[in-house]
Amino acid sequence: MLQEFKAFAMRGNLLDMAVGIIVGAAFGKIVSSFVEDLLMPPIGLLLGKVDFSSLFINLSGEEFPSIVAAKAAGAATLNYGIFINALINFLIVAVAVFLLVRQVNALQQPAKVAPAAPTTKDCPHCLSVIPLKAIRCAHCTSNLG
């Protein structure tokens, strides 16, 4: 069983998948930072100086100035601003993956080659296969004119 696992672990697909997961995790962190640190602040500024990561609905009925204060008090909150950030993160990653997969698929498709011109035809009399340039059938000796 150990040899079988070693053969499985050393196959190229598993190593490729591991590298893909590591690179994907790093890409996800970059996208998260892009959304939270570069994209959302200008959008929040355009919408009236709103910080999306601090938007929440307090379900406990008490007043809290921030999500941090509400969580420290143990209050139940709906953190829809953080959800909006996560949704934008997902959309950016999904578009990037779509573009990558589309490009890989385009590279993997074989080039479309026009079908080769036929070099033979059927004799109209005996239906044998004969060369295109033949003027007489080699099988039934019919004149093909």
Q: What is the pLDDT of residues 86-96, one digit of tens each?
A: 888 888 888 88
> For residues 73, 74, 77 and 81, what is the CA-based torsion angle, rounded to 10 degrees?
70
Mean pLDDT taken over the chain = 83
> How far, in Å, CA of 138 to CA of 74, rounded?
96
pLDDT the model gives residue 12: 63
Class of 2-113 in CATH: mainly alpha
129 in Cβ contact with 122 (< 8 Å): yes
Residue ranges, CATH 1.10.1200.120, the chain: 2-113
DSSP 3-state of 57: strand
- Integer Cα distance of 29 and 27 in angstroms: 5
